[in-house]
Structure 1
Amino acid sequence: MSAAERVPGQFTLVLHSHLPWLINHGRWPVGEEWLYQSWAHCYLPLQRILRRLADDGYTDQLSLGITPVLAAQLDDPAAVAGMYEWLADWQLRAMEAAIDDDPDRRASGHREYRAAAAALDDFAQHWQHGGSPAIRDLLSTSVMELLGGPLAHPFQPLLDPRLREFSLHEGLADAQLRWGTRPSGIWAPECAYTPGMESLYRDAGVSHFMVDGPTLHGDTALGRPVADSDVVAFGRDLTVSYRVWSPKSGYPGHGAYRDFHTYDHQTGFKPFRVTGKSVPPAAKKPYDPTLVDAAIDTHVDDFVACIRQRLIDESARLGRDALVVAAFDTELFGHWWHEGPIWLERVLRRLPEAGITVGTLATARRDGYVGDPVELADSSWGSGKDWRVWEGPQVAHLVQLNREVTDTALDSLDKRLPAHGSADPGADPRDLTADQILRETLMTVQSDWPFMVSKDTAAGYAQDRAYKHAHATREICTASDAGRDARAASLAAGWRRADNLFGALDARRLPTRDWSEK
């Protein structure tokens, strides 16, 4: 492709990787199984893709968000051991299927055995010490930009300002500790925003963040500095993103692809293809890998053509080179869409062949894909693009729970912690009880629980988790407020053992209360 055939502008792919803390909170059908499935089918393949691209000299291929709570699980020794066992069990189940009397089940067993063997080998080579070493290796190649975020993935606009500031700063510090770098960009949980958050980001050293397209009124062709800050909001281009994944259409629904919803309950595998959108599970046809390659190539060509035309059209509209940002949950690629990782790698390799410049959010900011400042309104990437999923009537009880638990925790912490708060955290010894109060509070208010209730996706599990962490917060605070320090410390230690995450969280960095507002 000659230089004259270069398409104007830049394309950026953003992937958001997140799961709530699942270790020691159930296994099947809800719990650790979610982590192990996503790890095997999404995180391992994605890192293989990035390693191959890096080996071939590709740089700045995507902006990859990894939330601190997911990063903690990928590094957790119990999770690493559990993952290895899960992969071995996958292979054993495949061996049983491979000798079944049914020919379709045998074929499925052979496919699954090969996939499990490859995953076990990959895991042993690159993941045996957790996720952070593998991520550090990728960062050293410059194949991607890493996006951070606040601890425990809270819905920030509804969070007490002190807790909002604390969770963001601690999340960025967590990234520095794990990966040896402090991200300059973040994926704001749920792409949620409320006016003033740009000041929080600026003070934390964040230079850019993601919002959904409607937050920028659909004009996502450039990043925009927010209000009077120099913090840039980049918007998801829905025209492009929905080409792949939308509520009603998208590539994963093609008849040749593996069906996500239909199980063979004897083996636990998914040996059927989509067949047709209106075809009931009992009528699904067996998965046929020989049909898949052509479908993937068709969808790669369609997506590349879509990006190319979008860049040309938006650049012409602006009168300058435009930016196109497509953003997805990482878990789409491999978990929800079995063929997604293959499609993803082919797209990234074919984009430059089509004359399209690929870069990250950081390179877009550096290279001037930034327009005029903009005032943003309350928003998210959820249903209605507002906050209804996280504060609607169906989750009013969780909103109230979060408010009460936060008030209880902050009142108790103000009694325990020295008055200088975050101004000089080294002047007083670390308070492990205070640390645990904050840890449990953040686990209570994470955005996953109201989302799961609103969407009726394992709603009972979500409510149980929220109330369990709320109970932990309250009982530690009750003992602390009563002056029963030994009891509070014992409770805190017990809950700390139950959920072994965020060991570097330090309550001494909690901002002090502005008593003039009380």
Structure 2
Amino acid sequence: MEKGYLALILHAHLPFVRHPEYEEFLEERWFFEALTETYIPLLEIFERLDNDRVDFSLTLNLSPTLCSMMDDQLLKERYVRYLDKMVELCEKEIERTRFSPSFHKLALMYYYRFRRTKDKFCYHYNQNLLREFKKYQDKGFLEIITCAGTHGFLPLLISKEAIKAQIQVGVSSYIKYFSSHPKGMWLPECGYFEGLDKFLKDVGLKYFILETHGVLFSRPRPKFGVYSSYYTKRRIAVFGRDPESSKSVWSSIEGYPGDYNYREYYRDIGFDLDYDYIKPYISPSGARIFTGIKYYKITGPTPYKQPYLPEEAKKKAAEHAGNFMFNREKQAEYLFGVLRRKPIIVAPYDAELFGHWWFEGIDWLEFLIRKIRYDQENIKLITPSRYLKLYPKNQVINPAPSSWGWKGYYEVWLNGSNDWIYPHLHRAQEAMVKLANRYKNSNGLKRRILNQMAREVLLAQSSDWAFMMKTNTFSEYARKRIVVHLERFHLLKNYLEKNFYNFEVLEDIERKDNLFPDIEFSIFQS
């Protein structure tokens, strides 16, 4: 009989990046790499576990923007083209490394990996990944939850109409793709403010996830720490992140991903090889970029890296999965004795950690699921909604404002590098609300313009842009995206107010920013 439960929660999200105006666009590779290294490998894990009759429970958030990209025909076509290009590069690498046995073996590994990924995507999944994820939810293995529409950082949106719109779009998008109502929501960046639970209650959500101190600093003090579910005063359940289980997986210094046998992320042939040789496979601008083909292991704190050995890395992944399971067993045993009830250990992670940032993370996850099923009896995998069925009566608390960003509050998304965006976002939100109220009975062209304005506001609100500016990664692209979406919003606003339209411009904007095709501007009405 189990003494506790482990809730593995994966947050799969990317900002909406789609540029039909260009033949090839660098930032679209974020999506292609995530498909290749994380999302399709996850489906392969689920398929193997299902074929082997391994019972498991996993919670997965697929954000609305990610779902929109997975469902986009243009991006599907470009992804196949990307895979063809990578297969071509691997073929060249097989020839180039033929006299270097260590590297030749790895070149073959990547070649077969890209070929298998293409076969899976095109023929096994028929380019429909959302249907595959839904299949495993329907079988009871997955609990897919939703997220705010474009991952807007809700505490800084201020306007109740804007917050309501983000949440409503998240729910509507989920219903469209998964034919059911979501049970839970992943709050963008785990960002919470007092009163947010009312918005979640209004759309019928049952639970959400918070950072550790969002629960620990609640009023009154939570009786069971972060190892139980709680209710807000509006009877929405809340779960808090367990810091112990997170650190061992998140940290590249103290955690498993930093093991010297694992693949080195930052040594890539996109930077290592001769420029003329690699040029056809890097950025269209000619800038060197990561290709995903990496031949070295971490080795240690030294610039001199040794060749990567996949077999040794896989053994380490199995060892680390066993260690993680052992630690959770002991944790559950202790908590069960102290709390006098079966605890839930909530372990949320960015999905892209597994496979993309931590190459062996996919193997680690599969080993962990199998080991928990067969190698012990103290813990059991569970989803938040199933835990709530086991423990329907819970303490009522008022969660504290929090996020899972640096310092635990809002500073990552509001600081000297990105604070300039908020007056512009708030003015656009106010204008959107006023126009949605003024033209609430509009049809035809006016309705079409208002719907597109709603898309532009939502896209500008994405928390990813402020995050990129703070970390100075693709910061110019992030700044450009906010400016472009706000420019398009105000252009369409002028069309509406002056009753003057340029159909070519409107169609061009609709073609570029085509997510949420069923959106209704009325979500911004007061």
What TM-score do the two structures reach when normalised by structure 1? 0.91
Matched, 1:440 2:445: no
Choose from 8, 13, 19 the match for 2:8: 13
CA–CA distance in structure 1, aligned partners of residues 253 and 314 of structure 2: 23
Which whole-Å CA distance do the structure 2 matches of 1:58 and 1:364 have between them?
20
Task: Report the CA distance between 1:89 and its aligned residue.
Answer: 1.4
CA distance in 1, matches of 2:522, 2:212: 38
Number of the residue aligned with 1:499: 513
How many residues align structurally? 494
Counterpart-to-counterpart distance in 2, 1:107 and 1:56: 29
- Aligned to 1:327, what secondary structure does the other structure show? strand
1:64 — aligned with what?
A: 60
1:395-450: CA deviation from partner (whole Å, max 9, x where unpaired): 1112222112222333333332239xxxxxxx999811110000000000111000
1:456 to 472, 476, 481: 472
Residue 164 to residue 59, structure 1, CA distance change in 2 (3 Å): farther
Alpha-carbon distance between aligned partners in 2 of 1:314 and 1:30, rounded to the nearest angstrom = 48
Q: Which residue among 246, 255, 262 is the counterpart of 2:260? A: 255
| Distance of 1:363 and 1:430 partners within structure 2 | 45
The answer to whether the Cα contact below 8 Å between 1:13 and 1:325 also exists between their aligned partners in 2 is yes
| Displacement of 1:294 | 2.2
Any gaps of 5 or more consecutive residues in structure 1? 1-5, 420-426, 513-518
Matched, 1:404 2:415: no
Distance in 2, Cα, partners of 1:168 & 1:39: 25
Write the distance in 1 (CA, Å) between the matches of 2:190 and 2:499.
41
What is residue 245 of structure 1 aligned with on the other side?
250
Matched, 1:23 2:23: no
**Alignment-derived partner of residue 271 in structure 1:** 295
2:139 matched residue in structure 1: 141
Unaligned runs of 5+ in 2: 218-224, 279-290
Aligned mates of 1:380, 1:182 — CA distance in 2: 25
3-state SS, counterpart of residue 287 of structure 1: coil
Correspondence 1:153-192 to 2 at 5 A = 153-159=151-157, 160-192=159-191
Q: Which residue of 1 aligns with 2:106?
A: 108
Alignment map for 1:270-289 (pairs within 5 Å)? 270-276=294-300, 278-280=301-303, 283-289=304-310
Q: Which moved more, 1:404-413 or 1:32-41?
A: 404-413
Q: Deviations over 1:167-186 (max 9, x none)?
A: 21122111111111121111
Residue identity in the other structure for 2:436:
L
Q: d(CA) in 1 for partners of 2:112 and 2:132?
A: 23
The aligned residue for residue 203 of structure 1 is: 202
Extract structure 1 runs of 4+ deviating beyond 6 A: 25-29, 427-430
Q: CA deviation at 1:59?
A: 4.5
Q: Does 1:354 align with 2:360?
A: no
Whether the 8 Å contact between 2:147 and 2:167 is mirrored in structure 1 is: yes
SS of 2:417's partner is: helix
Are the counterparts in 1 of residues 241 and 348 from structure 2 also a CA contact under 8 Å?
yes
1:62 positional shift: 0.7
For 1:361 and 1:428, locate their aligned partners in 2 and report how far apart those are by CA, in whole Å: 43
Q: CA deviation at 1:451?
A: 0.7
Equivalence for 1:481:
497
Q: Is the 2:11–2:62 contact (alpha carbons within 8 Å) kept by the matching residues of 1?
A: yes
**Aligned partners of 1:18 and 1:67 also within 8 Å:** yes
* SS state at 1:145 partner: strand
Equivalent in the alignment of 2:312: 291
> Is the 2:12–2:63 contact (alpha carbons within 8 Å) kept by the matching residues of 1?
yes
1:36 aligns with 2:32: yes
Change in Cα spacing, 1:509 to 1:143, as seen in structure 2 (3 Å) is: same
In 1, Cα distance between the equivalents of 2:305 and 2:316? 18
TM-superposition CA deviations, 1:466-501 (whole Å, max 9, x none): 1111111111112212222x33x6543321101221
CA change 1:415–1:483 in 2 (3 A) is: farther
Residues 11, 349 of structure 2: 8 Å contact kept = yes
Partner-residue secondary structure (3-state), 1:63: strand
The equivalent residue for 1:423 is none
Who is 1:81 aligned against? 77
Q: 2:362 aligns to what?
A: 341
Question: 3-state DSSP class of the match of 1:85?
Answer: helix
Hey, what does 2:288 align to over in structure 1?
none
Match of 2:230 in 1: 224
1:30 and 1:461 in contact (8 A); partners too: no
- Give the distance between the partners of 1:431 and 1:110, measured in 2 at CA: 54
Is residue 21–residue 70 contact of structure 1 (8 Å, CA) maintained in 2? yes
Matching residue of 1:98: 94
Residue 127 of structure 1, CA deviation: 3.4
Q: Which residue of 2 aligns with 1:386?
A: 409
Percent of residue pairs bearing the same amino acid type: 23
Comparing 256-265 and 213-222, the one that deviates more: 213-222
CA contact (8 A) 2:19 2:25 kept: no
Q: Tell me the secondary structure at the aligned position of residue 347 of structure 2.
A: strand
1:357 match: secondary structure? strand
Partner of 1:122: 120
Segment of structure 1 superposing worse, 82-91 or 397-406:
397-406
Query: What secondary structure, in the 3-state scheme, does the structure 2 residue paired with 1:148 have?
Result: strand
Please say if residues 77 and 130 of structure 1, whose CA atoms lie closer than 8 Å, have aligned partners that are also in contact.
no
Identify if the C-alpha distance between structure 1 residues 302 and 190 changes in structure 2 by more than 3 Å, giving closer, same or farther: same
| SS across alignment from 1:396 | coil
Determine the structure 2 residue equivalent to 1:515: none
In 2 relative to 1, CA 511–313 (structure 1 residues): closer, same or farther, beyond 3 Å? farther
SS in 1 for 2:269: coil
> SS at 2:419's partner residue?
helix
How far did 1:286 drift? 1.1
Higher mean C-alpha displacement, 430-439 vs 23-32? 23-32
Please say if residues 148 and 185 of structure 1, whose CA atoms lie closer than 8 Å, have aligned partners that are also in contact.
yes
CA contact (8 A) 1:193 1:377 kept: yes
1:285 & 1:248 partners in 2: Cα distance?
19
Structure-1 separation of matches of 2:103 and 2:393: 53
Contact 1:18 1:70 in 2 (8 A): yes
Q: Distance in 1 between matches of 2:260 and 2:309?
A: 11
Residues in 2 aligned to 1:316 and 1:119: alpha-carbon distance in whole angstroms = 46
**Is the partner of 2:59 in helix, strand or coil?**
strand
**What residue number does 1:317 align with?**
338
Inter-CA distance 341–432: structure 2 relative to 1 (3 Å threshold) = same
Q: Deviations over 1:280-312 (max 9, x none)?
A: 2xx111111232132112201110011111111
CA drift at 1:146 = 0.5
- C-alpha distance in 1, partners of 2:79/2:34? 11
1:516 corresponds to: none
